[in-house]
Structure 1
Amino acid sequence: MSESKQSTRIALLLENARNGDERARDELFECCRNYINVIARTNVETWMKAKVDSSDLVQQTLLEAHRGFRDFEGKSEGEWLAWLKQILAHNTHDFIRRFRAGKRDVKKEVRIQPQSPDASAPFRELAARLDSPSQVLMDHEQEFELANAISRLPDDYREVIQLRNLQRLSFEEVSERMERSRGAVQMLWMRALNKLQEILVENQSDS
């Protein structure tokens, strides 16, 4: 789905949800789950330097957004995603604070610095690394579509992109986390990027 069609779809779902269409509201939240999940995991794992189950954080964010839906005044996809990211940023801060409280060590204590609410940098960096002759992909910086494409990858492909591109770990760190050799991780990473490109091109072709 192209960016313009996706934006139109989000705007239509927002309008219908505001008019009391419960099915549209459920679809609106569900279609954003992949996006929120990618950002949530990137945020908490980048800070904690460990794999964390962010599903509760995602669920909490979507639940709060659902409860406070009437307070949302925007109409566009960008405004909607920005609102969700603000809620997620607040919940991420609380999540990290609770984690630190449970692991408190005065000598190791550091100031909490969760990523900014927009969380756009990882997506832009990943888009920039998609070295493809396709101009469509070279210009592709739509975070929402990128998150959905990542969710369609096989587990190991999704994992290596999450660690290498979104959490910005070195190949040595990725190798340790995935319990594979550096060479195997680099090969997996290249295959994952190629597969991600295929999915993005397929989405553009279907639009």
Structure 2
Amino acid sequence: MSDTKGSHTKVSQSSRENASESSLEDDVLVKEAMGGNERSYKKLVNKYQRALHFHIRKMVKDHEQIEDLVQETFVKAFDNLSRYNTDYAFSTWLYRIATNHTIDYLRKKKLQTLSIDEPVKTKSGEMEMQLPDESARTDRDIIRKQRRHMVREAIKGLPEKYRRVIQLRHMEEKSYQEISEVLDKPLGTVKAHIFRAREMLYKELKDKRDRF
């Protein structure tokens, strides 16, 4: 019986040591990444992209959408590394960004699919949804158009190889595999270009988006 307890203790200690080593490794990689070391960026991506995929899959089922959300999570995280508090595990911080970003995506998707013409069912029967104030709707439409224009202009400013993959992915809504076939490029290259393009767009639009 004592041997079993000893075995559990060793396993527990080993797990804690591995977790501690992993956390220390992350701290080093984060500092190097903040200094502009691209190899450290890639190491963090390789280390956590699979775990993030499974994390997001608990909330989203579309495989390609999960890949997009994973990429976008890394873009947000890397762009905000200066805000990361090293008192906490990097993985915890990264998962929190992934969760919040995925929840935002799901909220937007729900709003987009909500039809104002569809009757609302109540205990008393059905009733039509009340339309919002027309002037408020007009303002929102104007803001939405301004945002779309701002994004289009930012995309135009991307280098050709990045601009093309973003157009195919987000404007023509092609899958990663379809983009690979259209451009005759390896799937890994396509994903890397989309990741880099999103990173560039995020930085370009980060300060402008608060205007609208």
Q: TM-score, normalised by structure 2?
A: 0.40
Higher relative contact order (CA 8 A, sep 6+): 1
Q: TM-score, normalised by structure 1?
A: 0.41
